[in-house]
């Protein structure tokens, strides 16, 4: 590949999130958009016109295109494995949206297929890339929060009320546990990014009357190998909002969609907590984090190392959600080890 030529990337799945990712790819300036494939001809045509790229009539046509060096898979969860494995066998690098698959074993097969084909696999767990969480990681590693005992991550939205019966968001097979695969999965990856490996999970899901066929709410307690605890929660029947808290012996860090990150040092009163200067908040950092995924993908396509978010990370984030679902179904604590071996 010429040092000045941008790697060609093609998109599979051109719905709302596929369009967001295509915009992020374009904004990154690191890749070129080779084409797009979706089942609906009008959707494909619109995408091709917008980005000046090819309109693929089939997945095979996309995979046969020599201008396509990598695929971005943002299709329905149930076809992730089939499409990712096909892309790997065709020699295409893969950027796969979360969740990787509907089961851990399927996700592990994707990892194996990419390894066997010698192509890179990156996963769209973009929360860890947001500047506020990059900064939180630096504070943790520098010991500014002291010994951490508890982390709390919460993300809710109204998709259980608004997505509609035709949406996969309301499909209990494609999207079990209500908010789990939509946003809670991002928090699972973020928890392990910041605090290390989760050892076990205890969780419940609830149906409180929403019109969807999925659960409406989910919450779980994560036990980490370090001994600290994490709490994950979310609702499908609430305003769109996010909050994340880290509790340590030297201070508490609070990140929220409602405002900039706030740090309260040990010994300070609640009203003495201070905003972190120079750290972008929730909304300011999101677009940059999405674009950064494609800078990272381009680097990998050029043979310059591994993705920041690998298939192993994607498998573990999915495993946290699968453990939450099994814990709810069997009313017990579930270890990550058993999920990774038998899901």
Question: What is 121-155 written as a DSSP string?
Answer: EEE---GGGSHHHHHHHHHHHTTTT-SEEEEEEEE
Give the SS3 label for residue 276.
coil
Question: What is 20-35 written as a DSSP string?
Answer: HHHHHHHHHTS-EEEE
Query: Distance between CA atoms of 44 and 38, rounded to whole angstroms?
Result: 6
Q: What is the pLDDT of residues 197-230, one digit of tens each?
A: 999 999 999 999 999 999 999 999 999 999 999 9
Question: What is 279-325 written as a DSSP string?
Answer: ---HHHHHHHHHHHHHHHHHHHHTT-S--SS-HHHHHHHHHHHHHHH
- Report the interhelical angle of 185-195 vs 131-141 (nearest 10°): 30
Query: Distance between CA atoms of 177 and 158, rounded to whole angstroms?
Result: 14
pTM (2 decimals)? Answer: 0.96
Please give the torsion angle defined by the CA atoms of residues 298, 301, 304 and 307, in that order, rounded to the nearest 10 degrees: 70
Going by C-alpha positions, the residue among 225, 144, 155 that lies closest to residue 192 is: 225
Can you give the pLDDT at residue 284? 73
Percent of the chain residues past pLDDT 90, beyond the cut: 93
Taking residues 244-259, what's their average pLDDT? 96
Taking residues 78-83, what's their average pLDDT? 97
Q: Domains in the chain, please, with CATH?
A: 8-126+289-308 (3.40.50.720), 128-281+318-342 (3.30.360.10)
Can you give the pLDDT at residue 305? 95
Taking residues 219-248, what's their average pLDDT? 97
Can you give the pLDDT at residue 3? 55
Can you give the pLDDT at residue 280? 81
Percent of the chain residues past pLDDT 70, beyond the cut: 99
Mean pLDDT score of the chain = 95
pLDDT at residue 2 tops 70: no
Partnered with residue 55 across adjacent β-strands are: 36
**For the chain, the helix, strand and coil percentages under 3-state DSSP, each to the nearest 5:** 40, 25, 35
Q: Do 4 and 30 meet the contact criterion of CB atoms below 8 Å apart?
A: no
Can you give the pLDDT at residue 285? 80
Task: Give 235's contacts (C-beta < 8 A, 6+ positions apart).
Answer: 156, 157, 160, 178, 179, 216, 217
Can you give the pLDDT at residue 156? 97
H/E stretch holding 242? strand 241-248
- The CB-side HSE value for 151 (13 A sphere, CA atoms) comes to 29
Can you give the pLDDT at residue 332? 98
Query: Distance between CA atoms of 147 and 170, rounded to whole angstroms?
Result: 40
Q: What is the pLDDT of residues 269-313, one digit of tens each?
A: 999 999 998 888 777 788 889 999 999 999 999 999 999 999 999
Task: Give 167's contacts (C-beta < 8 A, 6+ positions apart).
Answer: 159
- The CB-side HSE value for 36 (13 A sphere, CA atoms) comes to 29
What phi, psi does 59 have (nearest 5°)? Answer: -65, -40
Can you give the pLDDT at residue 13? 97
Going by C-alpha positions, the residue among 58, 53, 73 that lies closest to residue 119 is: 73
Scored b (16 or more CB within 10 A) or e, 267-279 reads eeeeeeeeebeeb
């Amino acid at each position: 590949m010429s040092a000045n030529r941008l790697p060609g990337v093609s998109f599979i799945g051109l719905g709302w999130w596929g369009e967001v990712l295509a915009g992020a790819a374009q904004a990154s300036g690191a890749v070129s958009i080779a084409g797009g494939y979706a089942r609906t001809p009008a959707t494909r045509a619109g995408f091709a016109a917008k980005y000046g790229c090819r309109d693929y009539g089939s997945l095979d046509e996309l995979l046969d295109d020599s201008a396509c060096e990598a695929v971005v898979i943002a299709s329905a969860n149930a076809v992730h494995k089939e499409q990712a494995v096909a892309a790997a066998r065709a020699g295409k690098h893969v950027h796969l949206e979360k969740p990787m698959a509907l089961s851990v074993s399927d996700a592990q097969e994707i990892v194996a297929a990419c390894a066997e084909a010698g192509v890179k696999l990156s996963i769209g767990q973009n929360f860890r890339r947001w500047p506020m969480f990059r900064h939180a990681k630096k504070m943790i590693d520098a010991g500014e929060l002291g010994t951490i005992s508890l982390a709390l991550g919460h993300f809710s939205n109204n998709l259980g009320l608004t997505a509609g019966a035709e949406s996969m968001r309301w499909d209990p097979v494609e999207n079990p546990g209500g908010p789990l695969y939509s946003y809670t999965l991002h928090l699972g990856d973020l928890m392990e990014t910041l605090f290390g490996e989760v050892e076990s999970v205890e969780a419940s899901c609830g149906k409180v009357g929403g019109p969807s066929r999925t659960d409406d709410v989910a919450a779980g307690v994560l036990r980490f190998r370090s001994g600290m605890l994490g709490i994950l929660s979310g609702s499908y029947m609430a305003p769109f909002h996010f909050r994340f808290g880290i509790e340590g012996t030297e201070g508490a860090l609070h990140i929220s969609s409602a405002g900039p990150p706030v740090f309260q040092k040990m010994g300070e009163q609640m009203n003495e907590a201070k905003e972190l200067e120079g750290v972008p908040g929730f909304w300011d950092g999101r677009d940059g984090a999405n674009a950064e995924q494609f800078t990272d993908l381009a680097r990998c396509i050029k043979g310059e190392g591994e993705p920041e978010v690998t298939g192993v990370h994607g498998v573990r984030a999915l495993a946290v959600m699968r453990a939450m679902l099994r814990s709810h179904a069997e009313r017990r604590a579930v270890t990550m080890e058993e999920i990774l071996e038998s899901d």
